[in-house]
A and B are shown apart, each in its own frame.
Chain A
Amino acid sequence: MATTVGAGTREAAGGRKRRSRGRGAHRPNWLGGLAGWFWLLIVIVPIYWIVITSFKTQSNYFAMNPLAPPTEPTLDNYQLVIDNDFIRYFANSTIVTLGAVVPAVLVSFMAAYAIVRAAGGMWALRWMNSLFLMGLAIPLQAAIIPVYLIVIRLHMYDSLLAIILPSIAFAIPLSVLVLTNFIRDVPKELFDSMRVDGASEWGTLRHLAFPLTRPALVTVSIYNGLAIWNGFLLPLILTQSPSQRTLPLALWTFQGEYSINVPAVLASVVLTALPIVVLYAIGRRQLLSGLTAGFSR
């Protein structure tokens, strides 16, 4: 399939010459359309294949055209996946994701609020803001070895908490950035009038900043939630026993054990992606805007 990639690039390079934008132009945009449908095919074929194959029996899979729907659909693959403790891994992933996202967004919100309210004032807060910003440019994954050491020393190795704490830390920089940008847009007069009414900083945070920042809070929660739900490195290094396994790691070990049973492996892929696909179906717009959190401004 490397050849397809080559073709795609050449096409794109040629395409740039003729492209402008879709609307308002008189001539239809052939190259954009071609690239759009072409890439859609590349995206859709593997996904279609995953889904139909996961309903095939193993003998069915080897015998028939891989792109034809199963002649005798079966749920046995899903049964096998669930029998392999995936309910537990599912629960673990849920605990890790919620356990990291909720505190991460909460502390980031508080920090963002403090940074905006103290703007120009306290040097400590400005200094802290640059510290967080620096965290954006550094591949934090490179810090995994000391994180491992700290987790061992705190006797947290092989626990879900070991995944949760670094996940919170890694989520803070971007969350603070997005939330400060958002809180900064709140008119200063609103804060002033809260103060005149005698509200404390905590009161202002809860009754003014929180409701006004809700869309941004949803956005960063989605972004971090997806990254943590799909996270692989932290669980791989900081846990070891099956009882503490999260879904991506479970996928990997399951694939190791059942590599010849392709339909079962693909059923495990479908099952782990299902909750997110459901979320996507419910709130596509919010999820997509969550993904580009700080980038598309």
Chain B
Amino acid sequence: MALPALLVFVAFAIVPLVGVLLLSFTSWDGIGVIRPAGFDSWRAELTDPGLPHALWVTFLVMALSWAVQTPLSILLGVFLAGHQRYREFLAVLFFIPLLLSSAAIAITYKALLDPNFGLGAGLHLPLLVQDWLGKPALAVGVIIFVVSWQYIPFHTLIYQGAVRQIPRSMYEAAQLDGAGRVRMFFRITLPQLKYTIITSSTLMVVGSLVFFDLIFVLTEGGPGDSTRVLALEMYKRGFQANQMGLASVIAVILVVLGLALALLLRRIGGGSSSTSQLEGV
């Protein structure tokens, strides 16, 4: 009964994962013959200055988007966990970004942020009239913002569910002891959310390794190579420069990084029961 699932999974997930390691020891242009090349691709890729740069951008996007999303998602999740009627209404609108594809979101922001025809120009707000996607630092900021725009609702949803599961009696007891909001948040809510924070962070961190569609459509790695994350570097190497061997090296690095980060966060969480999963694609 389990056989069909196993067959498809092995054919299109396990075999490719092993295959990408094998391909990293070959030279292939994507069309012609695949030739064994020993460590050539590894040597070429590891000495390529593009790799540390892409690693750095990936790390930057990962760290900043985590730092923006986590506090806001917890705050909003706790807030939306209340049962007031107007909060229900807020929640309906709030989760709309979850429904849109990364491509649609990227296209929207590309138009919205256009320095000549975008929102800022139309409203004559000088602060908003910037070459958002044309300057390296601004472009990274825009990506962090758009990532947060897209994924904060998802993480808020996770936190909202988790907060609602905290037994009410804990708060009642604390209230009898005269604890205020601040204390209750730090003594009860936050500790109770521990595993949720680990799960949500794992999703953010491992998920950020594969932010591809959003950045591809929004900036295509530019201006220059300032937003070229690993996944994009892999795509460009493989499918634009036709160096599948080198691209496979990047893929192996991505897999190892993803596994290492997932394990690390699991260790921090003290063997949390939840497993990680990727966002997007």
Contact = CB atoms under 8 A, between A and B. Distances in A.
Of A22, A144, A165, chain B has the most CB atoms within 10 Å of the CB of A144
B4 A36 contact: no
A226 interface: yes
User: Interface residues of A toward B: which range?
Assistant: 35 or more
Q: Interface majority SS on B: helix, strand, loop or mixed?
A: helix
A132 B128 CA distance: 47
The 6 closest A-B pairs by CB, nearest first: A22-B82, A2-B141, A146-B19, A230-B101, A169-B12, A66-B122
A116 to B, nearest CB: 11
Contact of A139 (B152, B199, B200, B254): B254
Contacts of B12: 147, 150, 165-166, 168-170
Given A49-B119, A174-B277, 11 more contacts: A5-B148, A20-B181, A21-B82, A21-B171, A36-B79, A141-B210, A143-B20, A150-B15, A170-B281, A177-B275, A294-B275
14 contacts: A15-B71, A16-B185, A22-B78, A36-B80, A46-B112, A135-B13, A137-B262, A146-B16, A173-B9, A233-B212, A260-B117, A265-B111, A269-B107, A276-B100
A277 B99 contact: yes
A66 B128 CA distance: 13
Contacts of A233: 212-213, 281
User: Interface residues of B toward A: which range?
Assistant: 35 or more
Interface string A1-30: 111110011001101111111111101010
Interface string B1-25: 1101110110111111101100100
B37 interface: no
Contacts of B248: 145
B17 A138 contact: yes
B247 A251 contact: no
Nearest to A53: B111
Nearest to B165: A296
B145 A5 contact: yes
Nearest to B244: A145
Interface string B244-261: 100110011011001100
Given A13-B71, A255-B107, A43 B217 contact: no
Interface stretch (B44-52, B83-91, B221-229): B83-91
Contact of B157 (A20, A36, A288): A288
Contacts of B94: 39-40, 43
Given A15-B75, A22-B83, A62 B117 contact: yes
Contact of B72 (A24, A35, A110, A265): A35
Contact of B104 (A67, A144, A251): A251
B72 A12 contact: yes
